[in-house]
Structure formats: structure tokens, C-alpha cells
């Protein structure tokens, strides 16, 4: 069911782009934390 929705072109695009943006933002936040911990 979930994949049927994902395979719909519009939802597929939303899934792929949101996955990229979310993971990128999370990674930037993680690396900032790592950086501040390292500086301390």
C-alpha cells in the first residue's frame, strides 16, 4: 500500500526529495554537534 503510493509519480518525487533534504539537514546538525564537542 505504502509503496503503491510511493510509486505514484508525484508522491515518489516528494518522497525522494524530502528524504534527501531531511537526511542532509540531520547530517549538518550532527556534524555541528561533533564539531562543538571536539572544540570543547
Partner 1 sequence: MKREVWKTHTGMILAMIGTEVGLGNIWRFPYLCGLHGGSAFLIPYLILLFGIGIFAMMAEWVIGRYSRKDPLGAFEKIGFPRGREVGAWGIIGPFFLYAYYIVITSWVLFFIIASFAGLYFGKDTQKFFLDFLSSPYIFLFHLAAVAITSSVLALGVQKGIERACKFMIPTLFILLIIVTIRSLTLPGASIGVEFYMRPRLGALLNPAAWIAALGQIFFSLSLGMGAVIIYGSYLKDEWEIPINAIACALGDTSAAILAGFAIFPAAFALGLGAAVSGSQSIGLTFFTLPLVFERMPAGFLFGGLFFLLLAFGALSSAISIQEPSIAWLDEEVGWKRKRSALFTGVILWLMGLPFILNGYVMGGLGEKLALLSKMDIIIGQLALPLFGFLAILGMGWVMKEKGFQELHKNARHKFGKWIRPWIRFVVPSATILIFILSLITVLEERGVIREILPQVQVREFIPLGIGPATVIMIILATGLVWGGCIFLATRAIITEKRKRRYVPDYIE
Minimum CB–partner distance for residue 40 and partner 1 (Å): 14
Among 3, 36, 39, 40, binds partner 1 (CB under 8 A): 3
Which residues contact residue 6 at a Cβ distance below 8 angstroms, ignoring those fewer than 6 apart? 12, 15
Of residues 11-30, which lie at the interface with partner 1 (CB under 8 A)? 12-13, 15-17, 20, 23-24, 27-28
Distance of alpha carbon 19 from alpha carbon 33, whole angstroms:
21
Among 9, 36, 39, 40, binds partner 1 (CB under 8 A): 9
Distance of alpha carbon 40 from alpha carbon 38, whole angstroms:
5
Amino acid at each position: 500500500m505504502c509503496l503503491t503510493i510511493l510509486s505514484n509519480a508525484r508522491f515518489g518525487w516528494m518522497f525522494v526529495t524530502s528524504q534527501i533534504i531531511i537526511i542532509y539537514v540531520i547530517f549538518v546538525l550532527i556534524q555541528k554537534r561533533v564539531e562543538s564537542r571536539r572544540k570543547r
